[in-house]
Structure 1
Amino acid sequence: MKIHGTFNEDDLERAALVLKEMANTRRLKVLCLLLGGERCVGEIAHLVGLSSSALSQHLSRLRGAGIVSCRKTRQTVYYHLASPAVVEMIDTLRGHFCKGEKNDN
């Protein structure tokens, strides 16, 4: 098999990390929710049906992989997808695997 182009090992490692952290149904649910826009932690926990502690662990992994970012306003923490590239990846996955849903962005 002929491979076109060159691949940077650091880029491949980063891609593998992102895919690894996305390869969890609960984290994918969070990411699909965030495709609709920024949400606070309490709202995310309620909508995806996770306890605060479980959600915190998932968000920590997603944040560590650079998939989500957060901002804090007083006592409230808001999460959003970290970059246009992440939005595009999640939207593509949603388009392929969630046929009945449409992105309203």
Structure 2
Amino acid sequence: MNFAKLLDNNLYNNYSINDLICIVNVRFNKDKNLKISKEWYTVGLKILIHSEIKFFSELILFFEHIDNDNPEFFLQPGQKIKIITGKLFLNKIILKEKGTLLIEKFIHVSE
């Protein structure tokens, strides 16, 4: 993921996220060279943005302080986490219920 591109305010709106609970999921994607990569995501979140509740069918998750290729050292698919701090990035041009969530700090939530 090109995080410098996410920081371009001409392309993306970004919002601070605090105290959000979600369930993490994982899928495996193949690129054009058939290299397999893991993609962490969550689905069906409602987030308050500027006093308005927004529904997101899917958010792609990136973790600032752990290896994105191997976060299963800390996480398991289906696990519930509480995002203490993070940044939500929404593309200004592609208007859909999807986005990217950079997780800065999180804790595990007991079931």
- Settle same-fold status: TM greater than 0.5: no
Q: Name the larger-Rg structure.
A: 1
TM-score, normalised relative to structure 1? 0.28
TM-score, normalised relative to structure 2? 0.27
